[in-house]
């Protein structure tokens, strides 16, 4: 959700007391966008572009994709995949509904890819959504872009010599999140439960909460070992050590905000108290301004 280059616009909009509207996002320079390929293992790569990180598994059974970026960079994504394999893209799994992870669905479906996701992804894409944190209106996705196979809990793919486990985590970044684990390759794609190196966006208008983010990260850490390679939703390729540090940050912020909220402070008062001040040097520079993160943590608390 949101690319780093949008942050100056976001900060400016907030300074002016404005909220972002969709046209602000449309101003992104798609022509200048690049897709970088990072090899994770022999048969698995990660594509890094303006949206969410894409996971690519290649091998005897064709291409298996995790997320498909913004639709505006679909040609570039396909170009990067072509360099890895000329086989057809048979399956695409969406980690959640945000359009920086599902924007390529329509084009991929039109060339025969089967789109799979948690049922909440299809429901939210079909209905259209408002992301309150950014005052952003997302219209309903065209029917061709919707996942055609949905699940409620978990599904396993047997592809390219691996067992690929996809499991839903209770409301975390949204209420339709999935984590994908390549059992043999020992690779995990976290979706947007994990923003490596910066405060994560939590979509409270789609049922997200910091509590759920922490619980989801714990489930990932339970199945990871020291050599697991971790593809985050955003940010560079990672490992369990870094994910643990991120988890500690989430817990610290959760505890501080919960304490202030329990004292009866309003969202504005909690933001003004700067509860993340000592963490901002490390986590507050990449993506989401600290004030917005704190507000989302507060909003997501029951």
Distance (Å, whole) CA 136 – CA 90: 32
Shortest distance (Å) from residue 186 CB to Zn ion: 25
User: Using CA atoms, how far apart are residues 263 and 278, in angstroms rounded to an integer?
Assistant: 21
If the CB atoms of residues 76 and 98 are measured against Zn ion, the closer one turns out to be 98
Minimum CB distance to Zn ion smaller for 125 or for 260: 125
Element holding 18 (H helix, E strand) = none
Q: Which of 222, 283, 223 is nearest to 250 (CA)?
A: 283
CB of 80 to Zn ion, least distance (A): 21
Choose between 185 and 217: whose C-beta lies nearer to Zn ion.
Answer: 217
Backbone angles phi and psi of 207, in degrees to 5: 90, 10
Nearer to Zn ion, 69 or 192 (CB): 192
Give least dist CB 204 to Zn ion, A: 12
Q: Let me know: does 155 contact 91? Beta carbons within 8 Å.
A: no
For binding to Zn ion (CB under 5 A), which residues are involved? 1, 98, 192
Closer Cβ to Zn ion, 166 or 270, answer by number: 166
Structural tokens at position 258: 């919960």
Closest approach, Cβ 2 to Zn ion, in A, equals 8
Are 46 and 231 a contacting pair, CB within 8 Å? Answer: yes
Considering only CA atoms, which of 246, 250, 299, 241 is closest in space to residue 276? Answer: 250
Q: How far is the CB of 1 from Zn ion (least distance, A)?
A: 4
Q: What is the DSSP letter of 89?
A: E
Report which DSSP code applies to 142.
Answer: P
192 or 211: CB nearest Zn ion: 192
**Among residues 192 and 291, whose Cβ is nearest to Zn ion?**
192
Q: Is residue 173 a contact partner of residue 191, using CB atoms and an 8 Å limit? A: yes
How many residues would you count in the chain? 302
| Residue closer to Zn ion (CB basis): 3 or 186 | 3
Least distance in angstroms from the C-beta of 126 to Zn ion:
17
237 near 38, Cβ under 8 Å?
A: yes
Least spacing, CB of residue 157 vs Zn ion, in Å: 22
CB of 273 to Zn ion, least distance (A): 27
Q: How far apart are CA 68 and CA 100, in angstroms?
A: 8
What's the burial of 23, exposed, middle or buried (CB within 10 Å: 0-12/13-18/19+)? Answer: exposed
């Amino acid at each position: 959700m949101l690319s780093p280059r949008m942050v100056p616009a976001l900060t400016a909009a907030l300074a002016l007391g404005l909220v972002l509207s969709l046209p602000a996002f449309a101003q992104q320079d798609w022509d200048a966008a690049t897709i970088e390929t990072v090899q994770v293992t022999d048969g698995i790569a990660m594509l890094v572009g303006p949206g969410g990180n894409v996971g690519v598994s290649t091998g005897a059974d064709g291409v298996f994709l995790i997320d498909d970026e913004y639709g505006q960079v679909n040609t570039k994504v396909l170009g990067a995949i072509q360099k890895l394999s000329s086989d057809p893209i048979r399956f695409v799994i969406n980690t959640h509904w945000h359009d920086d992870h599902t924007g390529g669905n329509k084009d991929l479906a039109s060339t025969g890819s089967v789109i799979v996701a948690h049922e909440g992804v299809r429901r939210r894409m079909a209905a259209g959504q408002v992301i309150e944190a950014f005052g952003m209106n997302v219209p309903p996705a065209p029917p061709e872009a919707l996942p055609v196979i949905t699940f409620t809990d978990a599904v396993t793919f047997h592809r390219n010599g691996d067992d690929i486990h996809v499991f839903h985590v209770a409301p975390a970044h949204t209420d339709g999140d999935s984590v994908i684990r390549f059992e043999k390759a020992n690779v995990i794609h976290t979706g947007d439960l994990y923003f490596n190196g910066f405060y994560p966006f939590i979509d409270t208008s789609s049922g997200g909460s910091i509590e759920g983010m922490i619980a989801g990260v714990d489930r990932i850490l339970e199945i990871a070992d020291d050599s697991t390679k971790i593809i985050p939703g955003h940010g560079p390729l990672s490992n369990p050590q870094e994910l643990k540090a991120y988890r500690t940050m989430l817990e610290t912020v959760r505890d501080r905000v919960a304490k202030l909220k329990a004292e009866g402070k309003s969202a504005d008062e909690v933001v003004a108290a700067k509860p993340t001040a000592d963490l901002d040097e490390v986590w507050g520079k990449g993506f989401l301004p600290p004030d917005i993160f704190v507000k989302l943590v507060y909003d997501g608390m029951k």
